[in-house]
Structure 1
Amino acid sequence: MPASQSQKNPSNPATPGLQGPRRRLVFVALYELIAVAASTLLFMAIGQEVGASGVMSVVASTLAIGWNVTFNHLFERWEARQSVKGRSVLRRVVHAVGFEGGLALMLIPLMAWWFDVGLWQATLMEAGLLVFFLVYTYVFNWGFDRVFGLPASAQPLPAVSPQG
């Protein structure tokens, strides 16, 4: 086997790359670090105070971490059972919508309470954040997979060689 094929290449989605719990930990840490900074700036952009924005971002991030681990575990269990492997645009969109939709159900009441606004205003705030985070989630997942390779659940099954 040529050396180029025997080495792991994390940018090649057909190679193992980063897998298992370590993959999830790196994924969540990078995703949330960027998300806390971005959401703090977004809360401030819609008129919230710096301190309240930062605290809400950290609390939202903590909730998101728990949801991220849970959702991705369930998604990858479902994905592993699918006959078509890989991550198509549709599968990535379903992943992003499922993750962000579940998170929104938790965050809307929390934001209403924290910022002392009604559920409607919190829903509008979340809608603005949701637009940003839907795009961010899709782009982050795509980029993460390009850098670290696809998870085992999305990799093609190895070809079965005939026994001679």
Structure 2
Amino acid sequence: MRSLYDRLRHAISFEIIGLLLVVPLGSLLFHVPLADFGVVGLVSATLATLWNIVYNYFFDRALQRAYGTTLKTRMMRVVHAALFELGLLVVLLPFIAWYLGVTVWQAFIMDLSFAAFYMVYAFCFNWAYDTLFPLPEWEKA
């Protein structure tokens, strides 16, 4: 399993790169001032970073228990990303509606857009991260 240092490097790099991509795109797509969308992005990234560390720890423990390894198949990566985003969706919806002064439905659409972006991004980022920083146990598989 990954060390705490490795999990912190993963979570922080994931959020920084994600913010650099999603804030300008979201601002353009939803016609929200860049600064306002930046605040939403920053708060979302902070909550997501905390969720990322906790979620990945428990997901890896469950994989280790169930399969004896933390090596993820392509389908397991899809499940991993989808469950992560579902949990985050529940947390972010009230904040987005409140901060941007939009309806819950508008916040839901924005949140779904965030989730769709981050689901694809998480799949790609985690695959790249695992390729750059493989665990020794995976060499046996």
Common topology (TM > 0.5): yes
**Are 1:93 and 2:78 an aligned pair?**
yes
2: distance between equivalents of 1:151 and 1:31?
22
2:39 matched residue in structure 1: 55
Correspondent of 1:71 among 37, 48, 55: 55
Correspondent of 1:26 among 6, 9, 12: 9
Superposed displacement of residue 74, structure 1: 0.6
Superimposed CA distance per residue, residues 26-84 of structure 1 (whole angstroms, 9 cap, x where no aligned partner): 10111010122222113211111111111111111110011001101110110111226
Tell me how large the CA RMSD over aligned residues is: 2.0
2:21 matched residue in structure 1: 38
AA in 2 matched with 1:81: R
Superposed displacement of residue 23, structure 1: 1.0
Indicate the SS of the match to 1:113. Answer: helix
**Larger RCO: Structure 1 or Structure 2 (Cα < 8 Å, ≥ 6 residues apart)?**
1
Give the number of the structure whose alpha-carbon radius of gyration is greater: 1
Kindly indicate whether the alpha-carbon contact (under 8 Å) linking 1:42 and 1:129 is maintained by their aligned counterparts in 2. Answer: no
User: TM-score normalized by structure 1?
Assistant: 0.78
Report runs of 4+ in structure 1 exceeding 4 Å deviation: none
Indicate the SS of the match to 1:81. Answer: helix
Structure 1 unaligned residues grouped into runs of 5+: 1-15, 159-164
Superimposed CA distance per residue, residues 66-118 of structure 1 (whole angstroms, 9 cap, x where no aligned partner): 10011011101101112264210111011101111111111111100011011
**Are 1:131 and 2:116 an aligned pair?**
yes
1:8 matched residue in structure 2: none
2:67 matched residue in structure 1: 83
1: distance between equivalents of 2:109 and 2:78?
22
